[in-house]
Structure 1
Amino acid sequence: MSVKATRTGIVLRPDPTRVLFRPFELGSNTRTLKIIARVSSLTDEEVAVKLQEVINEFGSRHYKLERFFQKRFEHLKPHLLTDEPLSMERQLLLGAYFTMEYSLESAALFNPSMIWHPDQTNVPPGFKRFILSLRATGEGHISSISFRMGYIDEESKIVLRKPSRYVTSPEIVPNHIFSKPQFERKLYELRLINAISERMLAGLGDEFSLAELETVIKRITTQFRYNAEYETIANGILALARSNYELHFDDDQQMDERCIFPSSPNETNGIEDARFVQFTDDNGDVTYYATYTAYNGQVTFPQLLETRDFTHFKVSTLNGAEVQNKGMALFPRKINGRYATLSRQDGENIYLMYSDDLYFWQTKELILKPTYPWEYVQLGNCGSPLETKAGWLVLSHGVGPMRKYAIGAFLLDLNDPSKVIGRTKEPILSPDENEREGYVPNVVYSCGGILNGDDLIIPYAMADYASSFAIVNVNDLLAELTSDSGQ
């Protein structure tokens, strides 16, 4: 009999009251000017009254709201007709008119990924602290990364911390520094290296900032403003630069108050399905990576998040001939001196890739095809491999009749992951009657679990709407995968 996971009964549902502030963009200079003019017509007394109304109504719903109003005003400055200084109250009120609330998880909270928290201090006796990342989807079906925090004891009892009322997106770090050799290599992979791009980069040092790049490109494109090819190359270079950036949260923000909202050209329609992994380098340094799917409304782009403390993040594009489709999942350490990842370039099979460079992936090797009826439509991973004495344990998802998603597992050789030791013939978790209805019916899905003693903890999405947890005895699962029945 095949091993089955046990449900915990814990359910995380989307909470529409968790709102963050976002820029309110009108997309029209004329309308922007009209609003500025209307606010400018108010007397100082009227400005003070209206601003206080806004603060009274929205101030308790957000973290440092007035600071954001001030930043929004700075974005409006180019539209002002004079350099006449404005009072701080008028600046803040103008900023408020160009700010909006966004309910980041009003539609769904799903596709969770689970890792141990880097800080295990002041944890209740017998417990370990974990971080749960989730795909939060709101108005316009825009997805972002939301976080929760909780504890697990030695018997795998899960205690989730109630999230804060506040949620805020991070600051974009303005002085992100690029490595010129790596940047040029990415341009080469995008087929943007030619005489024009070389001319644009020639005036930059081995390291440069976005501001320096923008200055150089502006100077050159102004000289050749009637040449469409210069404009095309310039737009491509700037899109690449703006898709590689850094994020920073305030140190005093709780983990569940942090939300990574789409910021780059590749992400205009969402950040999807982050697969977090605790990666240990050969020298013992630990970095937390997350491969995710950036979506601009037309094309998906595999990208990479990295952090050491979940306060400061670096976002990078991934390049190379085999960076395509969805579902890249990094191994938690190098294998035989090289980075390794699972992938699914063709939409239905699982591949293994190696690279000497974390940001470039050129080759792939097919290791698993849909074999059993529950996975005939497609096969994919459900997060990064977990290291056990028996091999690399990988959660998988399969799609069967009626587009029903289920979760299984397979086991890879520790030293040569191209060797499949075993796989589950039947799912270990399938949608039950309480999980079939939602945004996408008949789906259970995970972006990564963790090992807790003898248990495998599986956070999973229910019908692309809410999330829960299931537990399976890892020894029983490995026994099945290493037996004849798992072959």
Structure 2
Amino acid sequence: MEVSVIRKNMKFMPDSSRIVTRFFMNGDIRTQELVGRIMLMKEKQVNLTLEEIFRGFARRHRSISDIFLKHFENVRGLIDEMHINDEDLSEERKLLIGSYLTMEYSIESSAFFNPSIVEDFDQTNLNKGEKRVVISFRVTGEGHVSSIVFRRGIIDKDNNLKMMPIGNNIEKAEVLHKIIFQKKRIARKLDEMDTLDIYPTIIDKLPEEFEYSTFRASLKRELEDAVIPYEKRQAYNELVWLLDSFYDIQFKHDSDISERVIFPISDAESRGIEDARFVRFIDDDNSETVMGTYTAYNGHATLSKLISTNDFYSFRVTPLHGEGSKSKGMALFPKKINGKYAMLSRIDGVNNYLMYSDRTNVWKDPIQIQKPLYPWEFTHIGNCGSPLWTEEGWLVITHGVGAMRRYCIGASLFDLDDPSKEIGRLPEPLLYPLEEEREGYVPNVVYSCGSIIHNNSLILPYAVSDYSSAYAVVDLAELLVALKNSKKQGL
């Protein structure tokens, strides 16, 4: 039985006008030389130069003065080394120095792709058959650095999506390191990372529970010893890399959701935040949290991370632990199964796996539940977001990679009580790249990071060749019948 797919006439395109500021410097010596040149300027020249900068850039960023001062403070230590008197550093001169340490970055100039959709927390003031949704996207700019952005919209009774207007200014979040660390858990994570055996020299000096600031102060004391072996310094760097991966972020409440960008923050994700898979998780007490998994990439290694929020203003970010977390494409189930959290993953890069855990950030003992079966998925099979609950079973939207590395989207059905049991799988792709969808940053790709069910339909946002995004609608009853029949036909 074929399943009809209706591609809706809506496109989400990259927009090079969407910009943020980034801290920029060219090493300690060149920065000190730059500051030296600015210090030679007369105060009147400083004011005139600063006024020109404000005329050109103030309208493009909210509170650009605060950004300049923050970037000035980033090099305060270097300036102190120059023995510059504080009375020579007027507020305007500080702002000017900060402006030279600032650059604009177009976050979505290259691609706007890999969408994930969840129900918004606010479902008030809607007409019958409508649902308010939040869609996240992976966006990339120069150098293919990835970050997360959001859009809010309403799906009507006919499954047409109306998007809310987009805000003018993009805001990066304030980073808060307020998490309490447990020494034993940090040590276990370092073991999983196959790090060097030297790190206990600093770990042992920490209390059983410690704050980020305590760790940083302890590390600073350790590094005051100029004669530190290379291996030991590398071990310290690995520890910093790990602990910097734990943080909270906070957006201002006067920002629209379309103005909030989760930009790479820690060294672990310096080259990008990839493929966030969000899901609205309902706990046993009926409390609801939007959780997501994503892959942090630093140009050399990946780290799976969990992000959660109750309002899309405050987010908590933590790395995932356990041998089952050493993979890309992890997707959390929307509720517990038999009292445990459940997660999909592809730990070997080829097959789909299932894991259970008592905690959301520790994943061990993966169970293989799917392997490539049909030619369009022979290279590998993976998930396209978190499973969806239906009365017939867990609906898992999958992606398969076949010849010429063409990515297609499929669907599978698993038992509600034991999702290691596959009930059915579509023998043909649910969605494949049409001729007009084949060209992009990565040709011949359709891909999704999360869908929802609305009005007895599957609402499936998807990326088009890693460049833009669109969405499709599938009749749920028709899809479930096809999945159940696939088992009868000899899956």
- What is the aligned partner in structure 1 of residue 410 from structure 2? 408
Instruction: Say if 2:178 and 2:247, in contact at 8 Å, map to a contact too.
Output: no
Question: Aligned pair in 2 of structure 1 residues 67, 485: CA closer, same or farther (>3 Å)?
Answer: farther
- What is the aligned partner in structure 1 of residue 262 from structure 2? 260
For the residue of structure 1 that corresponds to 2:169, the secondary structure is: coil
Instruction: Say if 2:129 and 2:455, in contact at 8 Å, map to a contact too.
Output: no
Instruction: Say if 1:424 and 1:486, in contact at 8 Å, map to a contact too.
Output: no
- What is the aligned partner in structure 2 of residue 121 from structure 1? 124
Q: Give TM-score scaled by structure 2 length.
A: 0.94
- What is the aligned partner in structure 1 of residue 25 from structure 2? 25
For the residue of structure 1 that corresponds to 2:381, the secondary structure is: strand
Q: CA deviation at 1:258?
A: 0.6
1:111 to 109, 114, 123: 114
- What is the aligned partner in structure 2 of residue 332 from structure 1? 334
Deviations along 1:331-378, one digit per CA (max 9) or x if unpaired, are 111111111111111211111111222222221111111111211121
RMSD: 1.8
Distance 1:207 1:486 in 2: 55
Equivalent positions of 1:198-347 (< 5 A) are 198-223=200-225, 225-347=227-349
For residue 8 of structure 1, what is the amino acid of its counterpart? K
Question: Aligned pair in 2 of structure 1 residues 192, 324: CA closer, same or farther (>3 Å)?
Answer: closer
Instruction: Say if 1:147 and 1:258, in contact at 8 Å, map to a contact too.
Output: yes
- What is the aligned partner in structure 2 of residue 147 from structure 1? 150
For the residue of structure 1 that corresponds to 2:171, the secondary structure is: coil
- What is the aligned partner in structure 1 of residue 46 from structure 2? 47
- What is the aligned partner in structure 2 of residue 367 from structure 1? 369
Give the share of equivalent positions with the same residue, in percent.
Answer: 45
1:95 to 83, 93, 98: 98
Question: Aligned pair in 2 of structure 1 residues 206, 84: CA closer, same or farther (>3 Å)?
Answer: same
Distance 1:269 1:3 in 2: 39
- Structure 2 unaligned spans of 5+: none
Question: Aligned pair in 2 of structure 1 residues 122, 91: CA closer, same or farther (>3 Å)?
Answer: farther
- What is the aligned partner in structure 2 of residue 15 from structure 1? 15
- What is the aligned partner in structure 2 of residue 459 from structure 1? 461
Instruction: Say if 1:21 and 1:168, in contact at 8 Å, map to a contact too.
Output: no
Distance 2:311 2:490 in 1: 39
The answer to whether the aligner puts 1:170 opposite 2:173 as a matched pair is yes
- What is the aligned partner in structure 1 of residue 429 from structure 2? 427
Question: Aligned pair in 2 of structure 1 residues 199, 304: CA closer, same or farther (>3 Å)?
Answer: same
For residue 7 of structure 2, what is the amino acid of its counterpart? R
Instruction: Say if 2:20 and 2:107, in contact at 8 Å, map to a contact too.
Output: yes
For residue 54 of structure 1, what is the amino acid of its counterpart? I
- What is the aligned partner in structure 2 of residue 480 from structure 1? 482
For residue 138 of structure 1, what is the amino acid of its counterpart? G
The answer to whether the aligner puts 1:349 opposite 2:348 as a matched pair is no
Q: CA deviation at 1:243?
A: 1.4
More divergent stretch after superposition (356-365 vs 271-280): 356-365
For residue 337 of structure 1, what is the amino acid of its counterpart? G
For the residue of structure 2 that corresponds to 1:66, the secondary structure is: helix
Distance 1:39 1:270 in 2: 34
More divergent stretch after superposition (350-359 vs 412-421): 350-359
Q: CA deviation at 1:43?
A: 1.6
Distance 1:78 1:323 in 2: 38
- Stretches (4+) displaced over 6 A: none
Count of aligned residue pairs for this structure pair = 485
Distance 1:197 1:330 in 2: 32
Distance 1:175 1:415 in 2: 38
- What is the aligned partner in structure 1 of residue 72 from structure 2? 73
More divergent stretch after superposition (322-331 vs 409-418): 322-331
Instruction: Say if 1:244 and 1:317, in contact at 8 Å, map to a contact too.
Output: yes
More divergent stretch after superposition (258-267 vs 354-363): 354-363
More divergent stretch after superposition (277-286 vs 8-17): 277-286
More divergent stretch after superposition (395-404 vs 228-237): 228-237
Q: CA deviation at 1:325?
A: 2.7
More divergent stretch after superposition (384-393 vs 169-178): 169-178
2:400 to 398, 401, 425: 398
The answer to whether the aligner puts 1:189 opposite 2:196 as a matched pair is no
Distance 2:314 2:261 in 1: 12
Deviations along 1:260-308, one digit per CA (max 9) or x if unpaired, are 1111121111111000011112222222111111111122222111111
Distance 2:85 2:209 in 1: 35
1:389 to 388, 391, 397: 391
Q: CA deviation at 1:311?
A: 1.1
Q: CA deviation at 1:425?
A: 0.8
Q: Give TM-score scaled by structure 1 length.
A: 0.95
Distance 1:5 1:485 in 2: 22
Q: CA deviation at 1:203?
A: 4.4
- What is the aligned partner in structure 2 of residue 2 from structure 1? 2
Q: CA deviation at 1:224?
A: 7.9
- What is the aligned partner in structure 2 of residue 158 from structure 1? 161
Deviations along 1:76-132, one digit per CA (max 9) or x if unpaired, are 211222242322111111111100100001000000000011122344665321111
Distance 2:181 2:357 in 1: 21
Q: CA deviation at 1:233?
A: 2.8
Instruction: Say if 1:329 and 1:381, in contact at 8 Å, map to a contact too.
Output: yes
Q: CA deviation at 1:60?
A: 1.0
Instruction: Say if 1:278 and 1:288, in contact at 8 Å, map to a contact too.
Output: yes
Distance 2:179 2:200 in 1: 21
For the residue of structure 1 that corresponds to 2:29, the secondary structure is: helix
Instruction: Say if 2:179 and 2:211, in contact at 8 Å, map to a contact too.
Output: yes
Question: Aligned pair in 2 of structure 1 residues 485, 236: CA closer, same or farther (>3 Å)?
Answer: same
More divergent stretch after superposition (182-191 vs 221-230): 221-230
Deviations along 1:30-86, one digit per CA (max 9) or x if unpaired, are 110111112112222111111121111111111222111111111121122224232
- Structure 1 unaligned spans of 5+: none
